[in-house]
Structure 1
Amino acid sequence: MKENNLYFIGSLFLGINLLINEIIFFKNYKESLRITKEYNALLGRRHSFLEKVLYVGSQFTTTEPHYVKRINLYSYCIVIAFIANGLCELYFKQYLSAGIFLLMILEVVAGLFSKVRFNKVFVTYFFIQLSVLTFLHSGNGFPETFIDLYYIPILLATIFIFDFKTEKKYILIILGCIIIESIITFFTNHSLFYNEDIHEFIKIDQIKNFVNVGLFIILISYFIFEKQELYRRLHAEKEERDKEFQILKSRINDAFEEVVMLAKNNDERFTTRFMEVYPERTQKINTTFPNISDKDFKLCALLYFNFTNKEIAKYLSIEVKTVESQKYRLRKKYDIPAGKDIMEWMNDF
């Protein structure tokens, strides 16, 4: 009776997953096709077969290529493991289990060509499927097959896939499912479902499970180490950029104070130094006011520092009315609206 329950629940699990996957991939198919078409149209050069294999799916995300490559390598390893396990299940005539492995293979492969692979909800759903698959096999009445060990690489994989700081909830959901499944399995003494057929190959199952779990732990540990190494490198690069930024900021502040002091002292080097320190602003003035005179350029440079008419008159040793007259000539010559600040108008222009 329990064996019938296993096949009933397993068949239900397989059917529900087929339906959910059909809905998910149908909804994503057209959008993925459109994105892929645009991506191929923008692709400037032909990629080698190896590049296509390693970076397939990169068009669906703005994530850096190394992340896509790592996920792809992990996906390929998953597919190889599922194929091996599926063939093993077929050999021992465990057709339901083989069908579930086939479904999981299709999910991974379809995910490679769809933006759904970068959907965290779907990825969480995929890992819950893996935990349920482990749960179904662990209730067959033979705990000595050590099928529960598969929970270890599943949990390790969530650390590799998700960012614990920002995506902790997904890890906790998967962890919660595993805890519930483990409690049920423990209190039913691994006999929630009893499968008489498995008795014949317990020893083979033990070896297979130990090998699979060992390989997955090694594989995921490598990916986690690589991920941490990448974070360390990015952190070092960020610190280096921050250091360069602080040096640049210090230089800009020093240059700013120097130029302002030259302006206040009406130093003849002011205009030349302004051009050196603010080349983009200089280009903007020359572009906005073609053939501008040296006197008018100096006025624009002083206005850039938000000096008032009174301050400009003081620094240039001229009357305030003279400053107003120069600004009026600029407005009239270039049709600057009345009441509009010259520098503000230039930025809008």
Structure 2
Amino acid sequence: MLRRILNYIENLHIDPDADRFQRLDARRLNLFAFSIGVVLLLSGFRDLLFGFKSYFWILFVLGAIFLLLFFFTKARQNMLVCLVGIELSMLLVFFFSSTSGFENGLSLYYFLLFTASLFIFNTRKTSKYIIIVFVTAFVLFLISHYYDFRIFSIGKAGNLEFLKNQRLVTFIIVFSGLSILGYFIILKHFIVLELYQKVLRSEKIISDMRAKLNRKDDMDLENLVKLAMNDDIAFIPKIKSSFPNLYDNLMEINPDITSEEFKLCALLKLGFTTKDIAEYNHISVRTVQTRKSRLRKSFGISADTDLYKWIDTL
């Protein structure tokens, strides 16, 4: 149930045709807008429990605004709107952190907003917004520090029970927020690494095929390998047009060849390793090994025959 709710929050209004980086950025903005809205609402209800009705309404309205941004794609994906949202959040942190001294712990929210800005404004065009966020936080913190974080006053702000509750809630929220953003750091790192390794592997496969075929311009190997790596349905028609005799030669040996067997032969023809086939087809290495064994039986290939050399003879 929780997983379905999280999937809904992450994937709301995301274009299914977007690439992996675009989807990752959209999910991050979804989570940011939704989580900020929820945090503001929860903080408002907490203040209401302690009798601060006016602050409850301030936080409630701001929380409602962020939740509305979550449901309206164009507003949420507008970087200027995001900047205004973060700046308003900075002013809230400045106000509440300057009511009862540094010990209330609310200054920790600055660090959460720092990290959020690094994720949201992650292009060269929007990097200037990061500077604005950092400068704003620095100036506001200096002002609070100058007045010993006691610029504003709230009637019950000095209440010991309230301060303990405030510190605990602040720590939990900041910890949770940084954990979510940290998850996206690791996820994006792995996606970049995976794509980089895929590029290196495709270049090697293409280079080996060029050398083997002794061709340079008469075959679109780049697109062929890309389709194979993406497990695209267009791969089979493309391999048949690139190697027109491959399917016919396989049919002569085994007229009952299956589509799965032909796809495996096509990948072997391109020089894909067992690990490559498993990774790009989202199956286990053991499954690929089993399919190779079945292919040997189906085509009567002896165990001492190299499958790659056998496929190259066709």
Q: Same fold (TM over 0.5)?
A: yes
After superposition, the Cα gap between the structure-2 partners of 1:189 and 1:164, relative to the gap in structure 1 and judged at 3 Å, is farther
Post-superposition, which runs of at least 4 consecutive aligned residues in structure 1 deviate over 6 A? Answer: 248-253
1:77-226 maps to which residues of 2 (within 5 A)? 77-114=35-72, 115-163=74-122, 165-200=124-159, 201-226=162-187
TM-score (norm 1): 0.53
1:219-258 maps to which residues of 2 (within 5 A)? 219-244=180-205, 254-255=215-216
1:274-285 maps to which residues of 2 (within 5 A)? none
Distance 1:60 1:143 in 2: 46
Identity %: 20
Distance 1:234 1:71 in 2: 22
Q: Which amino acid aligns with 1:234?
A: L
- Are 1:57 and 1:112, in contact at CA under 8 Å, matched by a contact in 2? no
Q: Which amino acid aligns with 1:113?
A: F
Structure 2, gaps ≥5 residues long:
219-240, 245-314
- Give CA-to-partner distance per residue, 1:36-87, whole Å, 9 cap, x none: xxxxxxxxxxxx9876543212259956334323432344433332232111
Distance 1:213 1:195 in 2: 23
Structure with greater contact order relative to length (CA < 8 Å, sep ≥ 6): 1
1:248 Cα offset (Å): 6.5
After superposition, the Cα gap between the structure-2 partners of 1:241 and 1:110, relative to the gap in structure 1 and judged at 3 Å, is farther
Structure 1, gaps ≥5 residues long:
1-47, 258-275, 280-349
After superposition, the Cα gap between the structure-2 partners of 1:240 and 1:98, relative to the gap in structure 1 and judged at 3 Å, is farther
Q: Which amino acid aligns with 1:196?
A: G
Distance 1:77 1:185 in 2: 26
1:250 Cα offset (Å): 6.8
* 245-254 vs 204-213, which moves further: 245-254
Q: Which residue of structure 1 lines up, in the alignment, with residue 12 of structure 2? A: 56
Distance 1:209 1:113 in 2: 26
After superposition, the Cα gap between the structure-2 partners of 1:184 and 1:246, relative to the gap in structure 1 and judged at 3 Å, is farther
Total equivalences in the alignment:
214
After superposition, the Cα gap between the structure-2 partners of 1:236 and 1:125, relative to the gap in structure 1 and judged at 3 Å, is farther
Q: Which amino acid aligns with 1:97?
A: Y
1:67-78 maps to which residues of 2 (within 5 A)? 67-78=25-36
- Are 2:29 and 2:77, in contact at CA under 8 Å, matched by a contact in 1? no
Distance 1:255 1:164 in 2: 37
Distance 1:215 1:135 in 2: 21
After superposition, the Cα gap between the structure-2 partners of 1:239 and 1:190, relative to the gap in structure 1 and judged at 3 Å, is same
- Give CA-to-partner distance per residue, 1:91-141, whole Å, 9 cap, x none: 122233322322332222222232111111111111111111100112213
Distance 1:138 1:238 in 2: 49
SS in 1 for 2:157: helix
Larger helix proportion of the pair: 1
Distance 1:67 1:203 in 2: 36
Distance 2:180 2:7 in 1: 21
Distance 1:182 1:226 in 2: 32
Larger radius of gyration: 1
Q: Which residue of structure 1 lines up, in the alignment, with residue 312 of structure 2? A: none
- Are 2:47 and 2:56, in contact at CA under 8 Å, matched by a contact in 1? yes
After superposition, the Cα gap between the structure-2 partners of 1:102 and 1:233, relative to the gap in structure 1 and judged at 3 Å, is farther
SS in 1 for 2:156: helix
Distance 1:92 1:60 in 2: 45
